Amino acid sequence: MQVVILGSGSPLPDPQRAGPSTLVRTAVGDFLFDCGRGVLMRAAAVGSGAAAIRALFLTHLHSDHITDLNDIYTMRWTMSFQPNPLPVYGPAGTAPLLRATEAMLEPDIGYRLAHHGDLKWRPSAEVTEVESGVIFNEGTVRITAAPTNHAPVHPTVGYRINDGEHSVVIAGDTVPCAGLDELCEKADVLIHTVVRRDLIEEFGLPRLTDVLDYHSSVPDAAQTAARNGVGTLILTHLVPAPAPGTEQDWLNQATNHFRGQVVLAFDLLTLDVIH
Protein backbone atom coordinates (compact mmCIF):
# COMPACT_ATOMS: atom_id res chain seq x y z
CA MET A 1 0.00 0.00 0.00
CA GLN A 2 1.35 3.39 -0.97
CA VAL A 3 0.28 7.01 -0.58
CA VAL A 4 1.17 9.74 -3.10
CA ILE A 5 0.33 13.35 -2.30
CA LEU A 6 -0.51 14.64 -5.78
CA GLY A 7 -1.43 18.11 -4.56
CA SER A 8 -0.54 19.63 -1.18
CA GLY A 9 -1.94 23.11 -1.82
CA SER A 10 -5.04 25.05 -0.91
CA PRO A 11 -7.43 27.48 -2.64
CA LEU A 12 -4.53 29.95 -2.88
CA PRO A 13 -2.66 29.34 -6.19
CA ASP A 14 0.94 28.29 -5.63
CA PRO A 15 3.46 27.47 -8.37
CA GLN A 16 4.91 24.66 -6.25
CA ARG A 17 1.70 23.11 -4.93
CA ALA A 18 -1.18 21.66 -6.94
CA GLY A 19 -4.68 21.60 -5.46
CA PRO A 20 -5.72 19.06 -2.83
CA SER A 21 -5.51 15.50 -4.12
CA THR A 22 -4.16 12.19 -2.82
CA LEU A 23 -3.55 8.91 -4.64
CA VAL A 24 -3.74 5.72 -2.60
CA ARG A 25 -2.26 2.69 -4.37
CA THR A 26 -3.62 -0.66 -3.23
CA ALA A 27 -3.66 -4.31 -4.20
CA VAL A 28 -6.75 -3.69 -6.36
CA GLY A 29 -5.67 -0.45 -8.01
CA ASP A 30 -5.28 3.29 -7.60
CA PHE A 31 -7.89 5.32 -5.72
CA LEU A 32 -8.02 9.10 -6.04
CA PHE A 33 -9.21 11.30 -3.20
CA ASP A 34 -10.29 14.81 -4.25
CA CYS A 35 -9.21 16.43 -7.50
CA GLY A 36 -7.86 19.93 -7.07
CA ARG A 37 -6.13 21.97 -9.74
CA GLY A 38 -3.37 20.20 -11.64
CA VAL A 39 -4.25 16.71 -10.45
CA LEU A 40 -3.73 14.93 -13.77
CA MET A 41 -0.40 16.64 -14.35
CA ARG A 42 0.79 15.31 -11.02
CA ALA A 43 -0.76 11.89 -11.65
CA ALA A 44 1.15 11.66 -14.95
CA ALA A 45 4.38 12.13 -12.99
CA VAL A 46 3.74 8.88 -11.09
CA GLY A 47 2.42 6.84 -14.00
CA SER A 48 -1.28 7.16 -13.28
CA GLY A 49 -4.13 8.90 -15.01
CA ALA A 50 -7.85 9.35 -15.37
CA ALA A 51 -8.42 6.19 -17.40
CA ALA A 52 -6.59 4.02 -14.86
CA ILE A 53 -8.04 5.04 -11.50
CA ARG A 54 -10.42 2.56 -9.90
CA ALA A 55 -12.57 5.29 -8.36
CA LEU A 56 -12.65 8.94 -7.37
CA PHE A 57 -13.67 9.86 -3.81
CA LEU A 58 -14.73 13.40 -2.89
CA THR A 59 -14.55 14.58 0.71
CA HIS A 60 -16.75 17.61 0.01
CA LEU A 61 -17.76 19.94 -2.77
CA HIS A 62 -15.69 23.04 -2.02
CA SER A 63 -14.28 24.31 -5.31
CA ASP A 64 -10.60 23.74 -4.51
CA HIS A 65 -11.25 20.01 -3.97
CA ILE A 66 -13.14 19.51 -7.27
CA THR A 67 -11.50 22.04 -9.60
CA ASP A 68 -10.27 19.43 -12.08
CA LEU A 69 -13.25 17.08 -11.98
CA ASN A 70 -14.05 18.16 -15.54
CA ASP A 71 -10.52 17.21 -16.67
CA ILE A 72 -10.76 13.75 -15.10
CA TYR A 73 -14.22 13.21 -16.59
CA THR A 74 -13.12 14.23 -20.08
CA MET A 75 -9.75 12.48 -20.10
CA ARG A 76 -11.17 9.21 -18.80
CA TRP A 77 -13.66 9.27 -21.68
CA THR A 78 -11.27 10.25 -24.46
CA MET A 79 -8.35 8.10 -23.32
CA SER A 80 -10.34 4.87 -22.95
CA PHE A 81 -11.01 2.61 -25.92
CA GLN A 82 -14.29 1.23 -24.69
CA PRO A 83 -16.96 2.62 -22.38
CA ASN A 84 -15.29 3.24 -19.03
CA PRO A 85 -17.68 4.97 -16.61
CA LEU A 86 -16.02 6.95 -13.82
CA PRO A 87 -16.95 5.58 -10.39
CA VAL A 88 -17.40 8.54 -8.03
CA TYR A 89 -18.12 8.40 -4.31
CA GLY A 90 -18.96 11.52 -2.36
CA PRO A 91 -21.38 13.26 -0.01
CA ALA A 92 -24.96 14.14 -0.89
CA GLY A 93 -24.83 16.57 -3.80
CA THR A 94 -22.23 14.60 -5.75
CA ALA A 95 -24.77 13.26 -8.29
CA PRO A 96 -26.05 16.71 -9.32
CA LEU A 97 -22.43 17.93 -9.44
CA LEU A 98 -21.63 15.26 -12.03
CA ARG A 99 -24.74 16.13 -14.03
CA ALA A 100 -23.78 19.79 -13.99
CA THR A 101 -20.21 18.97 -15.02
CA GLU A 102 -21.47 16.99 -18.00
CA ALA A 103 -23.84 19.81 -18.96
CA MET A 104 -20.96 22.28 -18.84
CA LEU A 105 -18.93 20.00 -21.12
CA GLU A 106 -21.75 19.45 -23.60
CA PRO A 107 -20.21 21.54 -26.43
CA ASP A 108 -16.88 19.69 -26.05
CA ILE A 109 -18.63 16.32 -25.98
CA GLY A 110 -20.37 17.17 -29.22
CA TYR A 111 -17.15 18.30 -30.90
CA ARG A 112 -15.33 15.11 -30.00
CA LEU A 113 -18.16 12.76 -30.99
CA ALA A 114 -18.37 14.50 -34.36
CA HIS A 115 -14.63 14.36 -34.97
CA HIS A 116 -13.51 10.93 -33.70
CA GLY A 117 -15.10 8.10 -35.65
CA ASP A 118 -14.08 5.44 -33.12
CA LEU A 119 -15.55 7.36 -30.17
CA LYS A 120 -19.14 6.16 -30.23
CA TRP A 121 -20.21 6.61 -26.60
CA ARG A 122 -20.66 9.53 -24.27
CA PRO A 123 -18.72 10.06 -21.05
CA SER A 124 -20.47 8.72 -17.97
CA ALA A 125 -20.10 8.36 -14.22
CA GLU A 126 -21.40 5.87 -11.69
CA VAL A 127 -22.11 7.99 -8.62
CA THR A 128 -22.58 6.68 -5.10
CA GLU A 129 -23.49 9.25 -2.48
CA VAL A 130 -22.17 8.20 0.92
CA GLU A 131 -22.45 9.16 4.55
CA SER A 132 -21.08 6.38 6.75
CA GLY A 133 -20.16 2.72 6.75
CA VAL A 134 -18.31 0.42 4.37
CA ILE A 135 -18.67 1.74 0.80
CA PHE A 136 -16.14 -0.41 -1.09
CA ASN A 137 -15.06 -3.98 -0.41
CA GLU A 138 -13.00 -5.97 -2.89
CA GLY A 139 -10.22 -8.46 -2.28
CA THR A 140 -8.05 -7.20 0.56
CA VAL A 141 -9.32 -3.62 0.24
CA ARG A 142 -12.12 -2.09 2.29
CA ILE A 143 -13.02 1.61 2.25
CA THR A 144 -15.15 3.15 4.98
CA ALA A 145 -16.75 6.60 5.13
CA ALA A 146 -17.76 8.68 8.14
CA PRO A 147 -19.21 12.18 8.50
CA THR A 148 -16.85 15.03 9.37
CA ASN A 149 -17.46 18.63 10.45
CA HIS A 150 -16.65 21.45 8.02
CA ALA A 151 -19.78 23.48 8.80
CA PRO A 152 -21.32 25.43 7.20
CA VAL A 153 -20.13 23.16 4.37
CA HIS A 154 -22.41 20.14 4.74
CA PRO A 155 -22.31 17.23 4.33
CA THR A 156 -18.64 16.32 4.36
CA VAL A 157 -17.02 12.91 4.72
CA GLY A 158 -13.67 11.37 5.53
CA TYR A 159 -12.44 7.98 4.36
CA ARG A 160 -10.45 5.08 5.76
CA ILE A 161 -8.75 2.70 3.32
CA ASN A 162 -7.77 -0.70 4.68
CA ASP A 163 -5.61 -2.96 2.54
CA GLY A 164 -4.99 -6.11 4.50
CA GLU A 165 -3.29 -5.05 7.75
CA HIS A 166 -2.48 -1.54 6.51
CA SER A 167 -4.69 1.54 6.83
CA VAL A 168 -4.80 5.14 5.61
CA VAL A 169 -7.27 7.86 6.61
CA ILE A 170 -8.16 10.84 4.41
CA ALA A 171 -9.56 13.50 6.72
CA GLY A 172 -10.50 16.18 4.20
CA ASP A 173 -11.37 19.63 5.57
CA THR A 174 -12.74 19.31 9.10
CA VAL A 175 -12.44 20.33 12.69
CA PRO A 176 -11.93 17.56 15.29
CA CYS A 177 -15.07 15.43 15.48
CA ALA A 178 -16.41 12.01 16.43
CA GLY A 179 -16.63 10.78 12.83
CA LEU A 180 -12.96 11.49 12.21
CA ASP A 181 -11.98 9.81 15.48
CA GLU A 182 -13.92 6.73 14.39
CA LEU A 183 -11.96 6.53 11.14
CA CYS A 184 -8.58 7.20 12.74
CA GLU A 185 -8.51 4.53 15.43
CA LYS A 186 -5.08 2.81 15.23
CA ALA A 187 -4.60 3.91 11.60
CA ASP A 188 -1.12 3.61 10.12
CA VAL A 189 -1.36 6.96 8.32
CA LEU A 190 -3.60 10.01 8.75
CA ILE A 191 -3.57 12.57 5.93
CA HIS A 192 -4.99 15.75 7.43
CA THR A 193 -5.59 19.22 5.98
CA VAL A 194 -4.31 21.97 8.30
CA VAL A 195 -4.03 25.71 8.75
CA ARG A 196 -1.56 27.74 10.81
CA ARG A 197 -3.76 29.67 13.24
CA ASP A 198 -0.91 31.86 14.47
CA LEU A 199 0.10 33.03 11.00
CA ILE A 200 -3.46 33.62 9.82
CA GLU A 201 -4.27 35.65 12.92
CA GLU A 202 -1.20 37.81 12.21
CA PHE A 203 -2.58 38.67 8.78
CA GLY A 204 -5.83 39.76 10.41
CA LEU A 205 -7.81 39.83 7.16
CA PRO A 206 -11.43 38.67 7.70
CA ARG A 207 -11.42 36.64 4.48
CA LEU A 208 -8.52 34.65 5.91
CA THR A 209 -9.44 34.54 9.60
CA ASP A 210 -12.85 33.20 8.56
CA VAL A 211 -11.20 29.85 7.71
CA LEU A 212 -10.14 29.25 11.30
CA ASP A 213 -13.53 28.11 12.58
CA TYR A 214 -13.95 25.25 10.09
CA HIS A 215 -10.43 23.90 9.58
CA SER A 216 -8.13 22.06 11.94
CA SER A 217 -5.00 23.82 13.11
CA VAL A 218 -1.73 21.90 13.22
CA PRO A 219 -2.17 21.17 16.96
CA ASP A 220 -5.77 20.06 16.30
CA ALA A 221 -4.60 17.51 13.73
CA ALA A 222 -1.78 16.33 15.98
CA GLN A 223 -4.15 15.86 18.90
CA THR A 224 -6.53 13.86 16.71
CA ALA A 225 -3.63 11.61 15.68
CA ALA A 226 -2.44 11.20 19.27
CA ARG A 227 -5.90 10.55 20.68
CA ASN A 228 -6.48 7.72 18.23
CA GLY A 229 -3.10 6.00 18.22
CA VAL A 230 -2.17 6.91 14.64
CA GLY A 231 1.28 5.91 13.42
CA THR A 232 2.16 8.68 10.93
CA LEU A 233 0.56 12.10 10.47
CA ILE A 234 0.87 13.82 7.09
CA LEU A 235 0.02 17.53 7.13
CA THR A 236 -1.33 18.78 3.81
CA HIS A 237 -3.54 21.53 2.25
CA LEU A 238 -1.19 23.90 4.05
CA VAL A 239 -2.58 27.39 4.68
CA PRO A 240 -0.60 29.53 4.23
CA ALA A 241 1.99 27.59 2.23
CA PRO A 242 5.18 27.25 4.31
CA ALA A 243 7.82 29.84 3.48
CA PRO A 244 11.20 28.28 2.68
CA GLY A 245 13.08 27.60 5.87
CA THR A 246 9.99 27.53 8.10
CA GLU A 247 9.11 23.88 7.65
CA GLN A 248 10.41 22.92 11.09
CA ASP A 249 8.04 25.42 12.70
CA TRP A 250 5.10 23.47 11.28
CA LEU A 251 6.54 20.18 12.46
CA ASN A 252 7.21 21.54 15.93
CA GLN A 253 3.57 22.58 16.35
CA ALA A 254 2.60 18.96 15.66
CA THR A 255 5.30 17.17 17.64
CA ASN A 256 4.38 19.16 20.74
CA HIS A 257 1.17 17.09 20.78
CA PHE A 258 1.98 13.85 18.90
CA ARG A 259 4.85 11.43 19.39
CA GLY A 260 4.48 9.54 16.12
CA GLN A 261 6.08 10.41 12.80
CA VAL A 262 5.02 13.78 11.35
CA VAL A 263 5.51 14.59 7.66
CA LEU A 264 4.95 17.97 6.03
CA ALA A 265 3.47 17.26 2.62
CA PHE A 266 4.83 18.44 -0.70
CA ASP A 267 3.65 17.53 -4.17
CA LEU A 268 4.58 13.98 -5.19
CA LEU A 269 5.55 12.99 -1.66
CA THR A 270 5.40 9.17 -1.72
CA LEU A 271 5.08 7.05 1.40
CA ASP A 272 4.99 3.27 1.63
CA VAL A 273 2.51 2.28 4.34
CA ILE A 274 4.06 -0.05 6.91
CA HIS A 275 3.33 -0.84 10.54
Does the pLDDT of residue 208 top 90, yes or no? no
6 phi and psi, to 5 degrees?
-75, -40
Per-residue pLDDT tens digits for 106-123: 999 999 999 999 999 999
Query: Residue 223, Cβ neighbours under 10 Å: how many?
Result: 17
Q: DSSP label at 175?
A: B
Least Cα distance to 265 among 245, 235, 225 occurs for: 235
Instruction: Indicate the pLDDT class of residue 199, thresholds 50, 70 and 90.
Output: very high
Does the pLDDT of residue 4 top 90, yes or no? yes
DSSP output for 207-233: HHHGGGGSS-BHHHHHHHHHHTT-SEE
Q: Are 217 and 176 a contacting pair, CB within 8 Å? A: no
Rounded to an integer, what distance in angstroms lies between the CA atom of residue 213 and that of residue 195?
11
Q: Are 144 and 159 a contacting pair, CB within 8 Å? A: yes
Q: What is the mean pLDDT of the chain?
A: 96
76: left (phi over 0), alpha (psi -120 to 50) or beta: alpha
Q: What integer is the mean pLDDT of 90-108?
A: 98
Task: List residues with catalytic annotation.
Answer: 64
Report all structural domains of the chain as residue ranges with CATH numbers, in order of start: 2-272 (3.60.15.10)
Instruction: Indicate the pLDDT class of residue 93, thresholds 50, 70 and 90.
Output: very high
Rounded to an integer, what distance in angstroms lies between the CA atom of residue 130 and that of residue 262?
30
Q: Are 218 and 249 a contacting pair, CB within 8 Å? A: no
Pairing mode of beta strands 125-129, 86-90: parallel
Pairing mode of beta strands 133-138, 125-129: unpaired
Q: DSSP label at 139?
A: T
Q: DSSP label at 240?
A: S
Q: Note the pLDDT of residue 275.
A: 64
Q: Strands, E, within the chain: which ranges?
A: 2-7, 21-26, 29-33, 55-57, 86-90, 125-129, 133-138, 141-147, 157-163, 166-170, 189-195, 232-239, 261-264, 269-272
Exposure string for 239-270, b = 16+ CB within 10 A, e = fewer: bebbeeeeeeebbebbbebbebebbbbbbbbe
Rounded to an integer, what distance in angstroms lies between the CA atom of residue 66 and that of residue 96?
13
Does the pLDDT of residue 230 top 70, yes or no? yes
DSSP output for 46-94: TT--TTT-SEEE-S---HHHHTTHHHHHHHHHHT-SS---EEEEESTTH
C-alpha dist (Å) from residue 78 to 59, 72, 240: 26, 10, 36
Q: Note the pLDDT of residue 222.
A: 98
Q: Note the pLDDT of residue 189.
A: 98
Rounded to an integer, what distance in angstroms lies between the CA atom of residue 18 and that of residue 265?
12
